[in-house]
Structure 1
Amino acid sequence: MTAVLEVERSPVRAPAVVERRPSRWRHHRRSLLVLGPLLLVAGLVNGWNLHGWPGRINDDEGTYVNQAWAMLDHGGLSHYTYWYDHPFLGWAIIAGYAGLTDGFDRAPSAVMVGREVMLISALAGCALLFLLARRLRLNRGWAAVAVALFALSPLAVFFHRMVFLDNLATMFILAAMAAAASPRRSVGAALWSSIWFASATLCKETIVILLPALVWLLVRHTDKRTRKWNLGVFFVSFGVLVASYPVFALLKNELLPGEGHVSLSWALWWQLFGRSGSGSLLDPSSGTFSLAKSWTDLDPWLLLPGVLLIPAGLAVARLRPIGIALLIQVVMMCRGGYLPFAYVIALLPFAALLVAGAGDLLWSRGRTWRAAPVAAAVLAAVLVVPAWAATLYEQSKTDGSANSRAATRWVVDNVPRDAVVVTDDYIWMDLKLAGFTRPVWLWKVDTDPEVMAEVLPAGAASIDYVVMADQADSTLASLPTLKEGIAGATVVARFGEIVVRRVGA
């Protein structure tokens, strides 16, 4: 009798299994058919003229690439003394990529290796943004709109290309949010969310301000019966992973300040309180306002609509975590503290999601409400697309790094390899790769005791060449040895903004 029952039941179970698999495949196939072309376009737009534009406008690019090189070259965490300016996961990723691809031996300039990593990060961010949008119940069309805004805005392209830790941190925060919004609502989703968020924090510690938004998202996508377990796994895992950084400092006896060594606690104090503030976004005369204005001057069509839609995002339950994430970052700009140049990077995906989310919400309400997104689409076709296309076209023709590369080539061809050459952190790495033994990063001339004792024992008289753009008076005031060297130097070559000076000639 039992055997008969088993034979009778088996045909009932089998079709259900067979039916689910093609349905699930068709579901993902449709998403891949939408996402694939988007990633192709994003790769072309963000990768075209990757080396030439933007130009060499922020020394941090060179710094992070040089620190990655130090990991590969001699197992150090920095090309100079590592002083806990940031956790080192970000440039460890760059070092891993450079090691796997032989980057520093094949690239035309060292910073190009870092920019290749940023391109990969941007494409991964696009895929994760699409996944997050779908898990927030945006339809595929509006999820594609979010990705297009994030990938193709001239403001986004400008910052996606540059070697900033914020790009890697943003990629990881999107991964953390996508995991937190998993439809499985499982402990595993909470664990992966914590791992990705810890990775974001260990790339750029300031991303931790988005913790409330991530937790809100996790709570919303967690079953009440297992919520305590999920949150417990999240916070314990996140805490343990992030604690590895201070534990590392403790093991090196560099957690607390002391004579003769750097410390993590001093670096944190300096980051939070030691830097001069940029002023509040609410003050039109502040540096923060000027920086924010430069973002909107480059492209007003992504950031401003996203910020204006924050109230709408907070009012809609499924978009509330995104609204919170963007609101937190805008509020931080109003506090009057120091605002980093690359701060805008982490605002971009949330602005894109709010714009697309608002469109999805109105579209889903029926024919009457669809007039608003249709009007927005017409406005975009008339104003936004031509403006973006013109800007991106101009960017594709601009070689902003040509002068720096030409100056580097002149030094390589005309200066002895053992000369003391003070320069910026872009040229520094290329000179090291060319065999120069004593290039000096300009910020170390008067701030690094080891450099002052071993490379510049006679102060300015020890400098042979200075190769850099003209520095502001306020910068030179803080670097008296460099100022003295420039004052007594002779200009021997000029490549645009980059000036080659021979000291003591």
Structure 2
Amino acid sequence: MTAVLEIERSPVRAPVADPPKPSRWAVHRKSLAVLTPLLLLAGLVNGWNLHGWPGRINDDEGTYVNQAWAMLDHGGLSHYTYWYDHPFLGWAIIAGYAGLTDGFDRAPSAVMVGREVMLIAALVSCALLFLLARRLRLNRAWSGVAVFLFAVSPLAVFFHRMVFLDNLATMFILAALAAAASPRRSVGAALWSAIWFASAALCKETIVILLPALVWLLVQHTDRRTRVWNLGVFFVAFGVLVASYPVFALLKNELLPGEGHVSLGWALWWQVFGRSGSGSLLDPSSGTFSLARSWTDLDPWLLLGGAALIPAALAVRHLRPIGLALLIQVAMMCRGGYLPFAYVIALLPFAALLIAGSGDWLWARLSSRVRLPSLAVASVLAALLVLPGWVTTLRDQATVDGSANSRAATRWVIDNIGRDAVVVTDDYIWMDLKLAGFTNPVWLWKVDTDPAVMRDVLPAGAASIDYIVMADQAVSTLADLPTLRQGVVSSTEVARFGEIIVRRVHA
């Protein structure tokens, strides 16, 4: 009885509640505190003087913007015959942005619409690079270093601003890698990785060379018990999405070469075998070596530093896929094939990750007594060796208006030439003339190469051309375009804006 009474008098304890789970903000606030100022810096450095620098040095920029306009204006895939030179997701994204923001009626020049998209892609890529670095177990400070290098290097700023499909493909490959490295190790992560990688390939097909590095990272971040299933989901999803492109060509009866139509098969053959090679990086007299030299002239530290650290990265487990990604791209430069002008874009995030990842690995192994002196020495070396060149180039990037001459020439044509005149020009000026109401601007690379242009716009050859507005072209270029060459020979200069010459062609 006493025991019963004691039990009855004992206080009843309330069940202990589980501690509340921290909010998503609480979990990530430290990372956001590091990333946010970096994104603001990246936006400022990459966005300041966006229209003026670099100048109009590669009219692929105009081509992709013009193709985006064609999607909005008349539902076509190109402003001329679409010949499957690249998949069209990249300029479809530009078209979507232009449609949502009324870009072609708002921007001072059509190419500016594309450059705005590139700025957004650069900022998204910075955030994804930080996420990927964290999932590779870099601490926040070194993850921030990777973003800083990727965002502020003069080489990166130069190419991030230009309207290249490689910028969009790089954004998607970073998303694919970040998904593959997800700590959840789930089938969903593999599926999203496949979706983002397919998106990268449908922007720029050459990005598929990074498939081995992505699969390696996915294998590292999957459980052995579900690895086969995860990889199966990845390859099936990626294959189905990428197959949509040849299926599209098949439905249009343009998959295989044939009489009277373009084809995906011929375009692939031309891309792989038909183009003249640029030579090997190992040959100092090659075009590839000269192009790579132009990259390192802008900034030798990011590319050469990343390449030098490839062996070290391959010795560290969590950095091996990143080292492989950079190694594959460098090896492709040594094979002697054609090297695109914008090829360097996809190298930049991996070089930045290898530098930051190597620093993180070394920092973790230094004793506390050595860390601060080492940091001080590294800071002094950076201030003496890296910053002077960066500051000089970044000052030019912020102040030089390299597109002023092209814009002035465009303004002169709009003010002084009738809208029905046949004007042969580059793809930068073409779009602005079209938006100004010109009915017959002709992209110079379509003279002699597009039967429809020769039949409908230039039936009398050079005698059908009224004006030519362009910089002087190389002799080899004019040799391949005899009608354009004849037009130049039969013309007189009527205005000049720096390197851009306005010529009136005489019948």
Q: Is the CA contact (8 Å cut-off) linking 1:461 and 1:504 kept in structure 2?
A: yes
Matches within 5 A, 1:261-410: 261-367=261-367, 370=371, 374-410=376-412
Aligned pair count? 494
Give the aligned partner of residue 233 of structure 2: 233
Give the aligned partner of residue 428 of structure 1: 430
Report the Cα offset of residue 301 of structure 1: 1.3
Question: 2: CA distance between counterparts of 1:334 and 1:366?
Answer: 36
Give the aligned partner of residue 5 of structure 2: none
1:21 aligned counterpart, secondary structure: coil
**Cα RMSD, aligned residues only:** 1.3
Question: 2: CA distance between counterparts of 1:9 and 1:117?
Answer: 61
Report the Cα offset of residue 56 of structure 1: 0.3
Report the Cα offset of residue 395 of structure 1: 1.6
Letter in 2 for 1:15: D
Q: Is the CA contact (8 Å cut-off) linking 1:420 and 1:465 kept in structure 2?
A: yes
1:281 aligned counterpart, secondary structure: coil
Letter in 1 for 2:18: P
1:102-123: CA deviation from partner (whole Å, max 9, x where unpaired) = 0000100000000000000000
Give the aligned partner of residue 212 of structure 1: 212
Q: Is the CA contact (8 Å cut-off) linking 1:363 and 1:373 kept in structure 2?
A: no
1:15 aligned counterpart, secondary structure: coil
Report the Cα offset of residue 382 of structure 1: 2.4
TM-score (norm 1): 0.96
Question: 1: CA distance between counterparts of 2:441 and 2:504?
Answer: 14
Question: 2: CA distance between counterparts of 1:138 and 1:162?
Answer: 30
Give the aligned partner of residue 473 of structure 1: 475
Question: 2: CA distance between counterparts of 1:84 and 1:406?
Answer: 33
Question: 2: CA distance between counterparts of 1:11 and 1:69?
Answer: 65
Aligned residue among 11, 18, 28 for 2:15:
11
Give the aligned partner of residue 140 of structure 1: 140
Give the aligned partner of residue 446 of structure 1: 448
Report the Cα offset of residue 396 of structure 1: 0.9
Letter in 1 for 2:499: E
1:260-304: CA deviation from partner (whole Å, max 9, x where unpaired) = 100000000000000000000000000000000000011111110
Give the aligned partner of residue 5 of structure 1: none
Q: 1:9 to 1:374 in 2, by over 3 A?
A: farther
Report the Cα offset of residue 252 of structure 1: 0.1
Give the aligned partner of residue 112 of structure 2: 112
5+ residue gaps, structure 1: 1-7
Q: 1:10 to 1:99 in 2, by over 3 A?
A: farther
Report the Cα offset of residue 384 of structure 1: 1.4
1:383 aligned counterpart, secondary structure: helix
Letter in 2 for 1:429: M
Q: Is the CA contact (8 Å cut-off) linking 1:362 and 1:372 kept in structure 2?
A: no
Q: 1:335 to 1:15 in 2, by over 3 A?
A: same
Report the Cα offset of residue 383 of structure 1: 2.2
1:345-378: CA deviation from partner (whole Å, max 9, x where unpaired) = 0000000000000100011113276465553332
Give the aligned partner of residue 44 of structure 1: 44
Letter in 2 for 1:425: D
Report the Cα offset of residue 452 of structure 1: 0.2
Q: Does 1:21 align with 2:25?
A: no
Letter in 2 for 1:21: P
1:502 aligned counterpart, secondary structure: strand
1:436 aligned counterpart, secondary structure: coil
Give the aligned partner of residue 4 of structure 1: none
1:159-206: CA deviation from partner (whole Å, max 9, x where unpaired) = 000000000000000000000000000000000000000000000000
Give the aligned partner of residue 57 of structure 2: 57
Q: Is the CA contact (8 Å cut-off) linking 1:182 and 1:189 kept in structure 2?
A: yes
Give the aligned partner of residue 3 of structure 1: none
Q: Does 1:257 align with 2:260?
A: no
2:182 aligned counterpart, secondary structure: coil
Question: 2: CA distance between counterparts of 1:466 and 1:359?
Answer: 54
Q: Which has the larger radius of gyration?
A: 2
Question: 2: CA distance between counterparts of 1:76 and 1:233?
Answer: 33
Matches within 5 A, 1:153-232: 153-232=153-232
Question: 2: CA distance between counterparts of 1:162 and 1:124?
Answer: 16
Give the aligned partner of residue 86 of structure 1: 86
Letter in 1 for 2:437: G
1:399-456: CA deviation from partner (whole Å, max 9, x where unpaired) = 0000000000000001010100000000000000000000000000100000000000
Q: Is the CA contact (8 Å cut-off) linking 1:130 and 1:143 kept in structure 2?
A: yes
Aligned residue among 483, 486, 490 for 2:485:
483
Question: 1: CA distance between counterparts of 2:452 and 2:246?
Answer: 25
Q: 1:369 to 1:331 in 2, by over 3 A?
A: farther
1:85-137: CA deviation from partner (whole Å, max 9, x where unpaired) = 00000000000000000000010000000000000000000000000000000
Report the Cα offset of residue 393 of structure 1: 1.1
Question: 1: CA distance between counterparts of 2:153 and 2:179?
Answer: 26
Letter in 2 for 1:381: A
1:191-229: CA deviation from partner (whole Å, max 9, x where unpaired) = 000000000000000000000000000000001111011
Report the Cα offset of residue 471 of structure 1: 0.1
Question: 1: CA distance between counterparts of 2:288 and 2:137?
Answer: 35
5+ residue gaps, structure 2: 1-11
1:222 aligned counterpart, secondary structure: coil
Give the aligned partner of residue 6 of structure 2: none
Question: 1: CA distance between counterparts of 2:447 and 2:218?
Answer: 48
Question: 2: CA distance between counterparts of 1:274 and 1:107?
Answer: 37
Question: 2: CA distance between counterparts of 1:111 and 1:388?
Answer: 26
Letter in 2 for 1:422: V
Report the Cα offset of residue 387 of structure 1: 2.2
Give the aligned partner of residue 492 of structure 1: 494
Q: 1:490 to 1:225 in 2, by over 3 A?
A: same
Q: Does 1:413 align with 2:398?
A: no
Letter in 1 for 2:444: L
TM-score (norm 2): 0.96
1:448-493: CA deviation from partner (whole Å, max 9, x where unpaired) = 0000000000000000000000000000000000000000101000
Q: Is the CA contact (8 Å cut-off) linking 1:170 and 1:345 kept in structure 2?
A: yes
1:440 aligned counterpart, secondary structure: strand
Moved over 6 A (4+): none
Question: 2: CA distance between counterparts of 1:11 and 1:82?
Answer: 70
Report the Cα offset of residue 11 of structure 1: 3.4
Report the Cα offset of residue 21 of structure 1: 1.7
User: Which moves more between the two structures, 25-34 or 65-74?
Assistant: 25-34
